[in-house]
Structure 1
Amino acid sequence: MTSSVLVAGATGDIGRRIVRELLHRDARVRVLTRPGSGTAAALFGGDDRIDIVEAAYGDPSALTTAVSGTDVVLSAVSGVRPVIVHAQRALLAAAVDAGVPRFIPSDYSSDYRRIAVGSNRNFELRREFAADLDAAPIHATSILNGAFTDMLTGTAPMILFGRKKVLFWSSADQVLDFTTKDDTARMAALVALDDDAPRVVEVAGDRVTARDVARTMSDLTGTTFGLQWAGTTGTLGAMAAVGRRLSKNADETFPAWQGMQYFVSMFSGQAQLRHVDNARYGEHRWTTVRDVLEAHLGNQLIVGTASSATRASGTTTVA
């Protein structure tokens, strides 16, 4: 029997990937979108395997109608309290009222269950909603995957490519969990189609230390990347607290101070995954940290070569 999955947040980065993985597995997908938004129609309107339904999170009746008849409600929404707590509470209430058997919250993160109070805002919001989910009469499954591997080459300044350094806090030998967005999306789709999925599924595309990352970068570039101690997690947590107090936008999802809090959670070991089960759904090719860094360095080389060729030819491009 074909499973019907309603995806909330389907137009976001991780949401689009999850929809793609569900379609690869012949699931019937229903995409929830806000009234008046044309994004979902633009992305999915041409696919007859996808139904687009409109409902505002502030409209319980419309939301219940939107989720009715599905086998699982999968949330991939992104944001802070108005989204992770309030919107998901509304979505959960609608799923319960409609008799939907299963709910998958928008976690896709490190293990937020053991972090210290006040140490990570985004994780604590997930933990707050998890308490509501545990109390609801519905079968729930959270997916914990560590940090997204992609952040090593983008938003997380752990690797100082120009200075040939890898930063660490407290210990260079603390195990860090990483999974790419694509691998996380694949796992989310598999969990959505597994009626017997447990309360928590933990996966990690790779598990490395800062020392491992420095060794990998040295190997890939042929140049020694050294380790640089950046302080303790306690000091970093204090810096994050100051940044949060001085922040002018409390609803920003990933401000700089939140990035600091992520590193505190990871390098303290509090958010480390304890029960990784990558083989739950059989053998898969997991993308490693080395894979991501190698691809990033290759792209940089291509861009650098193209820029050099452009300068050499005297060509100027005007956007």
Structure 2
Amino acid sequence: MSQTIVVAGATGDLGGRIIRSLLAEGAGVRALVRPGKAIPGVLQEAGVSVVQVDYLDASTLKDALAGADAVVSALSGLAPVMLETQTRLLMAAVAAGVPRFIPSDYAVDFTTIKEGSNRNLQWRREFRKIVDAAPIRATSVLSGAFADMLTGVAPLILFRQKRVLFWRDADQPMAFTTMDDVAGYTAKAALDPEAPRFLRIAGDTVSSRELAAIMTDISGTQYRTLYAGSIGSLRLMARVGRMLAKPSTDLYPAWQGMQYFGNMFSGDGAFHTLDNDRYGSRQWTSAREVLRAR
């Protein structure tokens, strides 16, 4: 009998990819959608049941999760979403007797970073305490930075200037995983009743120096690394940027990006072991493939 997996944040980019991966695994999917939200095409596919829920209505939310084998959170937002809404989802899963829960933790290793060094990851650290205290089996999929960001969203590779930035050490290894690879692996974890508390994956692990070599090879033009400063200076810029920034609902303001780079280039968010092969051999998308596709 196929398992039924509930996906919260189903209308988002990652949520939709997770749903496609679950369908490919033969799972039944129940997609939670807030009232009034547009229904994307993936939610109209066979095997997907769309349930409109108000996360403030505990009883309705509990009913929406009844009979599920696992709940996968792909919620994304500021503290009201990552802490308050996700906690309501967790408590409803417990109340409904759902055996497994996957939080929206797809990131570098927030368990090893410096306390308070990253606003977005700090919410994950705080939610970890909540989920660990709940009577449910939880599994966090830690995946490093999304490799899709290498093509321009994160200003690490300066394509016009033919430079790759680094702070402190050009040879610091960094984990990158595409959203499709994260989604495929998360689907496997959602269907795994023995999944451990943390699973760490990396589609590729590369340094700034290696990224420069890749771009040189792909483009036929010399790319060089560019020293951008120390970790201390980077974190100082992040603090100053945060203090000077106007109030915003932006999940990734410039200073937040600096905080992520601080965790990556300091090595405090790095993976020391990987669980890539837990579900058998798979073809992971490399940084070279992502950059070549650009």
What TM-score bracket applies, with the shorter chain setting the length?
Answer: over 0.9
Runs of 4+ in 1 over 6 A off after TM superposition: none
TM-score after normalising by structure 1: 0.90
Tell me which moved more, 28-37 or 244-253. 244-253
Q: Which has the higher helix share?
A: 1
Q: Which residue of structure 2 lines up, in the alignment, with residue 304 of structure 1? A: none
Pairing 1:104–2:102 present: yes
Q: Which residue of structure 2 lines up, in the alignment, with residue 159 of structure 1? A: 157
Preserved contact between residue 164 and residue 224 of structure 1 (Cα < 8 Å): yes
Q: Which residue of structure 1 lines up, in the alignment, with residue 68 of structure 2? A: 70
The Cα shift of 1:118 comes to 2.2
The Cα shift of 1:47 comes to 2.5
Q: Which residue of structure 1 lines up, in the alignment, with residue 221 of structure 2? A: 223
The Cα shift of 1:73 comes to 0.5
The Cα shift of 1:46 comes to 3.4
The Cα shift of 1:179 comes to 0.3
Distance across 2 between alignment mates of 1:132 and 1:260 = 27
Pairing 1:238–2:251 present: no
The Cα shift of 1:154 comes to 2.0
The two structures, once aligned, show a CA RMSD in angstroms of 1.0
Equivalent residue letter for 2:65: V
Pairing 1:198–2:209 present: no
Q: How does 1:289-300 map to 2 (within 5 A)?
A: 289-296=287-294
Structure 2, unaligned runs of 5 or more: none
Distance across 2 between alignment mates of 1:128 and 1:142 = 14
TM-score after normalising by structure 2: 0.98
Preserved contact between residue 10 and residue 16 of structure 2 (Cα < 8 Å): yes
Pairing 1:134–2:126 present: no
Q: Which residue of structure 1 lines up, in the alignment, with residue 9 of structure 2? A: 9
Q: Percent identity?
A: 52
The Cα shift of 1:217 comes to 0.8
Distance across 2 between alignment mates of 1:284 and 1:88 = 31
Distance across 1 between alignment mates of 2:182 and 2:44 = 25
Equivalent residue letter for 2:289: D
Pairing 1:252–2:250 present: yes
Structure 1, unaligned runs of 5 or more: 297-319
- Bigger-Rg structure (1/2): 1
The Cα shift of 1:219 comes to 1.0
Give aligned pairs, total.
294
Distance across 2 between alignment mates of 1:250 and 1:68 = 37
The Cα shift of 1:155 comes to 1.3
Pairing 1:18–2:41 present: no
Render the CA deviation track for 1:155-214: whole Å, top value 9, x for unaligned: 111111111111000000111000000000000100011111000111100001111011
Preserved contact between residue 16 and residue 42 of structure 2 (Cα < 8 Å): no
Distance across 2 between alignment mates of 1:218 and 1:285 = 24
Preserved contact between residue 4 and residue 71 of structure 1 (Cα < 8 Å): yes
Distance across 2 between alignment mates of 1:252 and 1:117 = 22
Tell me which moved more, 132-141 or 248-257. 248-257
- Report the secondary structure of 1:230's partner residue: strand
Distance across 1 between alignment mates of 2:114 and 2:55 = 31
Distance across 2 between alignment mates of 1:78 and 1:245 = 23
The Cα shift of 1:251 comes to 3.0
Render the CA deviation track for 1:235-261: whole Å, top value 9, x for unaligned: 111111111112223432111111111
- Report the secondary structure of 2:44's partner residue: coil
Render the CA deviation track for 1:214-236: whole Å, top value 9, x for unaligned: 11111111111111100011111
Distance across 2 between alignment mates of 1:242 and 1:256 = 11
Preserved contact between residue 11 and residue 43 of structure 1 (Cα < 8 Å): no
